[in-house]
Amino acid sequence: MIVEILAVGTELLLGQIVNTNAAEIGSRLADAGLAHYHQTVVGDNLERCAAAIRLSLGRSDAVVVTGGIGPTQDDITREAVCAATGREMLFDEGYARDLEGRWAALGREMPRTNLRQAEYPAGAELLANPKGTAPGLRLEVDGVWVFVLPGVPEEMIPMLEAHVLPFLVRASGGEAGVVHSRLLRTWGESESRIAALVDDLYAAQENPTMAFLASAGEIKVRLTARAATAEEAEALIAPVEAEVRNRLGGLVFGADADTVERVLLRAAGERGWSLGTAESATGGLVAARITGVPGASATFVGGIVAYDAVQKEHLLGVGADLMARHGIVSTETALAMAAGGAERIGADVVLAVTGSAGPDPQEQPPGTMVVAVRTPEDARARTLRLPGDRERVRTYTATAALHLGRLAITGTWWRS
């Protein structure tokens, strides 16, 4: 069974709201073993929305539409379904009374526009919405099932779980199987280099398939298999995963949910070392990523953001004369920040960052960032030359700092 996602809302096209619904539905469809080839976003325009629905009906076995079923004038999904399928709009008197009862129970008068939520295309079944007032819809159009759900994620997800996924699995004859993925996480090489190292494996792919995902300075290799059971999918993935790991070696640092933050904290915990940060240009991004991991407090003891030279001297004990001689953006200053952090925070391992993130240069060209790591065994610094705007430089530097900390804790120090 092929399922398509259609999201309705001009706010999605304008980027005012991120379309998290599509990602959530896509993930749930994969878990259920249901094929998913297309996602579409269309604005609040009746003609374009109806055209998008007709297109989806022509290439799918089921369509999940989100958004556009509220009470306001721009909520046109119900009308678009009627226009796309040639059906008349009906009105559910019972649901209208239920709506009025809800408002009365709150001691408030219901705006008459809310009655639009009692309208539905002929032949559609209203689906209960436990979190809101807009009911969903389910209807069959020439053998294709159409589901219309609210755009609010807190309302959409419970309805997806209760009304859509179980129905589609049953409609597929219970033979959908599963789609299972393994995500291998790498750092230290470009996406093109990673792809070149496994090029023949990619060219020979059938089941499992291979894809490359780049984000925040890391490259992920995704292996995806379709099988009757999760165990069978794992068995298909295993030999390909082993070969990818063999070729990439130490570039692979984790899999699936093993983010660098989790790997770093686990490595420090295994050695009994506490962890801290001393940041300038990244403004606390490194500490924020570490503390985003539940249970980080067992290892992470604190961080200092010392943004200007005065605070580097005051909070971290970096000598003014040292900064005057070598500059704020230097390995010497980064190492002094790490040493000061170890003393002031009381951490065994300190990740320190200084640099020129841009857009204006600070001593060095924008994108020049210095990361230092101090452990009970050694201390080293590395200078990075990163492309892109300020936020990309800061994000990539935070990722690099976490990885350099990981390497230092495991004794795999890098070349300066």
pLDDT score at 175: 62
Indicate whether 228 pLDDT > 90: no
Domain finish residue from 124, 148, 171: 171
164 and 211, same domain (yes or no): no
Indicate whether 212 belongs to any domain. Answer: yes
Indicate whether 358 belongs to any domain. Answer: yes
Considering only the C-alpha atoms of the chain, give the largest distance between any 2 of them, rounded to a whole number of Å: 81
What share of the chain has pLDDT > 90, as a percent? Answer: 89
Indicate whether 415 belongs to any domain. Answer: no
pLDDT score at 30: 86
184 and 108, same domain (yes or no): no
270 and 231, same domain (yes or no): no
CA distance 318 to 348: 18
Indicate whether 221 belongs to any domain. Answer: yes
Taking residues 73-94, what's their average pLDDT? 96
pLDDT digits (tens, 9 = 90+) for 259-304: 999 999 999 999 999 999 999 999 999 999 999 999 999 999 999 9
278 and 400, same domain (yes or no): yes
pLDDT score at 174: 61
Tally Cβ neighbours within 10 Å of residue 45: 15
Q: What is the CATH number of the domain that holds 192?
A: 3.30.70.2860
pLDDT score at 41: 98
**pLDDT band at 184; cut points 50, 70, 90:** very high
Give the mean pLDDT of the chain: 95
Model confidence pTM above 0.85: no
Tally Cβ neighbours within 10 Å of residue 255: 15
150 and 14, same domain (yes or no): yes
Indicate whether 176 pLDDT > 70: no
pLDDT digits (tens, 9 = 90+) for 302-340: 999 999 999 999 999 999 999 999 999 999 999 999 999
Domain total of the chain: 3
The answer to whether 71 and 36 have CB atoms below 8 angstroms apart is: no
Boundaries of domain holding 224: 178-255
Q: Which residues contact 166 (CB under 8 A, 6 or more apart)?
A: none
Domain finish residue from 255, 276, 295: 255
**pLDDT band at 390; cut points 50, 70, 90:** very high
Domain finish residue from 171, 206, 222: 171
The answer to whether 342 and 274 have CB atoms below 8 angstroms apart is: no
